[in-house]
Structures are given as C-alpha cells and as structure tokens.
C-alpha cells in the first residue's frame, strides 16, 4: 500500500512540473509568434528573493552576448581576481584590528532580545524543501499550510489515500495520531473479521472513545466516508442519536476496507527536507553576520531572556567543583536549546562557505555539503574545529550536537596532506569552490 501512496504523489509531482513548464504550443507554430509570460512561467521560491544559480549564469551569458563579449574562463577569472584581492585586504585589516584590541562577540555584550532583533543576522531563517509537492523553498510554517491546502485539493480525486495522509500530516500530536490510527483500524478490522455482526457496523458519534480519539483529529471524517460509512440518526435509549453506519450493501466491496486499513497503517507524514540555504561570504560579511534567528532555538524569546539573567549564576556554578557526570548533564541540557546549526567552512583563500544543518545531523552531512561545492570533488580534505580538533573517520557518524558544534561553528578547510603535492602546493591554488558557487558571493 505504501507503493500506491508513493505512486500517487509521484503522479502529483509530475503534474505540478508540467503546469510549471508554461503554456504549450503546436509544433506547426512559428517560434517568433510565441510570447513569453514572466508571471506565468516564474516559480515561487519562498521568502528568499535572490535568483537561482542557473538564473545568474543565464543572465551573465545574456549580458556577455549583448556586449559582444565572449564568455570564457578569462572573464570569470577577472572577477575572481577582484574577489581575491578584496579578501586579502579584509584579512589584513582583520589582523591589524586583532593586534590593536581583542574583538568581543556581539552575543557577549548584547541582551538576547537585542540579538534576536539584530539586523546582522547570519541567515534570515530556516527553510525547507518538499520534493513530493513542489520545488518551492519555504519556512516550516509556510510548508505546513501549503501541504494542508494541497492534500485537501486531492480529496475528490482520491479520498481514501488522501484522508490517510491528512490524518498523519495535518495533526501535530503524534501520540493522539497513533491512538486515532489504532481506533480506526480496529473499526475496520471488526467489520472485516465479523461482517455479519451488525454492532460492528455502527459507531455512535457521541461515544467518548470516538470523541477523544477520532472526532478531534483532521481527516477522520473523510476517511470514514471513503471506507463506506454514512451518518444516520438511529434510535438510542429514549431518543435518537447520530451514528456512523456501514451499510450491509458495502460488504460486497470489503476489499476497500482492507486497502484503507493497510494504507492507514503504512502511511507516514509528508516529510520536509532541510534546505542548506547555501551562501558564500567574504570575511567582512561573515564578521558582521553573526546573529542567529529565533528559528535556530528550541526555546522562546522570553526563555532566552531568562537565560540571560541566569548567566551570573552559571558563572558561579562553573567555579564550583563538579563531577564529570554533572558537567556532561549540564552540557547536554545546553545542547537541547538548539534545533539547527550554522556551519561556516573557511577556505584557504579566506572565502567562507555557509550552510544550515540540523543539530542531529552527522559530520558526514557536512563533509558531503563541502565536497559537492568543491572544484575537485573527489580529492580528500580535512576540516578542523576552532579548538584545533581535526574531524576524522571516527567523527563521521557523530552528530553536530555530540561534537559541540552548535549553534554556530567555523571549520577550517585544508587538503589532505596526501594530495597537497598533487595540487602543486594545494593551499596556493587559484580557486577552491566551483565557479557557479563563487557567483553567489554577494557584493558589500
């Protein structure tokens, strides 16, 4: 049944892509008669209005053609040289500033409320993708709304399977969803195993178990309707009450009950994929954009303010003699404050590659992120933490939280010693990141 649900969504995804492809045209039409419609062919990519890499490359190529210039590697190297020169100037300025005075982190001098309202955010938020529904990049709240709208649009076409997904995807309390699924499956199972028993074909709507476990969740009424139940008034005690009634005539189509039973058991919530929110920063940009948005924290702004007030107490506690177990317990409690981690990888030329990760993702995910943005993807490299620890094979399966790399960390990139000679000095090569990634460097 899970395959059927998967095929259902794959079909929806193809339909969505087809609609986004723009208006069709006949092969016999002249291409000159076709007029492009920007509003019709554009794709909503969420709050981040920056054009995609492909759009930037296409624009650069168009400008080059209009200017009668040939777009080749030399054209890019000229802009790259300007970027590298700017990076060198900024690095020299950083060294001079460090020699004059030790820089203080904004989070050490500002209150938590100031940080949350700071205009110097490292990222504007946390964004997600949902390949099953579309190519948009949106916040979790926006996706929650979009998924719900999408599912309710499919009810007329495939009420049973869609209702299963609504139950799993549109109700937040997982414990209640589990109870609901068990109860609904019990209703169906009773009819499947005891088709002649009339009592199993009726569900009193005022029944407490039904109200507490089924009626309060979204999608349940659509599920019962798809299964073949109908609401009827029946005599009960001294009056009449509403019942869900499964007609005897539907027993011939009992296969539908088994299909829905399997679907409800195997269905899962529509999942979101964390978008890396790839950014490439100059040293000066990285130095300014240091604050994290509230979405990175698992506690509210008010709780953060209380944490700020408790800092003096924490400092006193840190001076107390504590056991290793006590220290580890406090560290774990501290790590649970964060949901996401901002990883910055400083390349040898000073450019910083930035991505967003879940605190529970493994170091291997960071390695993969770095590798897919390198010119030399297949060559081994090393990432070093601010404490000087080189992330090794032993660390690959450890989470970012385990390694204390949250909520934000700068890792230093270097080629593995085994390939330095092969690259002709390694650290002195002209460019480390792919040209299409370097295009993302934003001007100040």
* Residues 290/281, Cβ–Cβ less than 8 Å: no
DSSP type of residue 68: T
When pLDDT is averaged across residues 13-24 and rounded to a whole number, the result is 60
* The 239-246 sheet, strands edge to edge: 202-204, 239-246, 229-236
Answer with the residue of higher pLDDT: 426 or 373: 373
Is the model's pLDDT at 94 over the cut of 60?
yes
Is the model's pLDDT at 77 over the cut of 70?
no
pLDDT at residue 246 in the model:
94
> pLDDT tens digit string along 233-252?
999 988 999 999 998 888 87
Cα–Cα distance list, 346 to 385, 422, 433 (Å): 11, 22, 11
* pTM tops 0.85: no
pLDDT at residue 43 in the model:
40
pLDDT at residue 324 in the model:
60
When pLDDT is averaged across residues 53-70 and rounded to a whole number, the result is 48
**What tokens were used for 180?**
């609901």
| Bridge partners, residue 130, by sequence | 134
pLDDT at residue 251 in the model:
81
pLDDT at residue 196 in the model:
87
Per-residue pLDDT band for 331 (boundaries 50, 70, 90) equals low
Q: What is the dihedral of CA 96, 102, 108, 109, to 10 degrees?
A: -80
Least confident of 126-140, 352-366, 412-426: 412-426
Per-residue pLDDT band for 46 (boundaries 50, 70, 90) equals very low
**What tokens were used for 368?**
């993969």
Which of helix, strand or coil describes residue 81? helix
Answer with the residue of higher pLDDT: 110 or 248: 248
When pLDDT is averaged across residues 319-338 and rounded to a whole number, the result is 61
* Residues 290/144, Cβ–Cβ less than 8 Å: no
Is the model's pLDDT at 89 over the cut of 70?
yes
pLDDT at residue 302 in the model:
58
Measure the CA–CA gap between 408 and 114, rounded to whole angstroms. 18
* Residues 432/351, Cβ–Cβ less than 8 Å: yes
**What tokens were used for 80?**
């790259």
Q: What is the mean pLDDT of the chain?
A: 78
Measure the CA–CA gap between 189 and 309, rounded to whole angstroms. 56
Measure the CA–CA gap between 277 and 354, rounded to whole angstroms. 8
pLDDT at residue 110 in the model:
42
When pLDDT is averaged across residues 53-72 and rounded to a whole number, the result is 47
Max intra-chain CA distance, the chain: 93
| Bridge partners, residue 408, by sequence | 342
| Bridge partners, residue 245, by sequence | 202, 230
């Amino acid at each position: 049944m899970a395959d059927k649900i998967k095929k259902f969504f794959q079909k929806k995804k193809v339909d969505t892509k087809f609609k986004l492809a723009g208006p069709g045209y006949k092969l016999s039409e002249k291409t000159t008669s076709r007029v492009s419609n920007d509003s019709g062919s554009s794709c909503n990519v969420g709050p981040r209005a920056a054009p995609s890499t492909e759009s930037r490359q296409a624009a650069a190529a168009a400008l080059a053609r209009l200017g009668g210039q040939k777009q080749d590697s030399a054209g890019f190297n000229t802009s790259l040289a300007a970027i590298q020169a700017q990076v060198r100037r900024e690095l020299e300025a950083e060294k001079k500033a460090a020699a004059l005075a030790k820089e203080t982190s904004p989070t050490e001098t500002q209150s938590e409320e100031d940080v949350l309202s700071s205009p110097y955010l490292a990222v504007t938020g946390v964004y997600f993708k949902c390949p099953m529904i579309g190519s948009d990049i949106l916040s979790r709240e926006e996706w929650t709304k979009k998924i719900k709208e999408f599912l309710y649009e499919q009810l007329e076409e495939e009420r049973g399977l869609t209702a299963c997904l609504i139950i799993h995807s549109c109700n937040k309390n997982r414990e209640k969803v589990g109870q609901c699924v068990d109860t609904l499956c019990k209703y169906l199972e009773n009819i499947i195993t005891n088709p002649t028993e009339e009592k199993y074909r009726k569900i009193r709507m005022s029944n407490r178990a039904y109200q507490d476990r089924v009626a309060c969740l979204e999608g349940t009424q659509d599920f019962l309707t798809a299964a073949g139940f109908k609401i009827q008034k029946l005599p009960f005690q001294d009056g009449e009450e509403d019942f869900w009634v499964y007609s005897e005539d539907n027993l011939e189509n009992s296969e539908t009950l088994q299909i829905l039973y399997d679907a409800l058991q195997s269905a899962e919530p529509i999942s979101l994929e964390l978008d890396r929110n790839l950014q490439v920063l100059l040293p000066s940009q990285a130095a300014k954009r240091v604050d994290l948005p509230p979405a990175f924290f698992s506690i509210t702004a008010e709780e953060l303010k209380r944490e700020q007030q408790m800092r003096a107490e924490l400092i006193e506690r840190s001076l107390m003699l504590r056991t290793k177990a006590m220290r580890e317990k406090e560290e774990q409690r501290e790590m649970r404050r964060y949901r996401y981690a901002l990883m910055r990888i400083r390349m040898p030329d000073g450019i910083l590659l930035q991505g967003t990760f879940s605190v529970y993702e493994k170091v291997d995910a960071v390695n993969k992120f770095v590798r897919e943005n390198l010119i030399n993807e297949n060559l081994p490299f090393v990432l070093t933490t601010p404490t000087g620890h080189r992330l090794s094979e032993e660390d690959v399966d450890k989470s970012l939280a385990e390694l204390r790399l949250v909520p934000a960390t700068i890792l230093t990139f270097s080629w593995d010693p085994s390939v330095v000679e092969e690259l002709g000095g390694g650290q002195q090569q002209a460019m480390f990141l792919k040209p299409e990634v370097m295009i993302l460097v934003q001007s100040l």
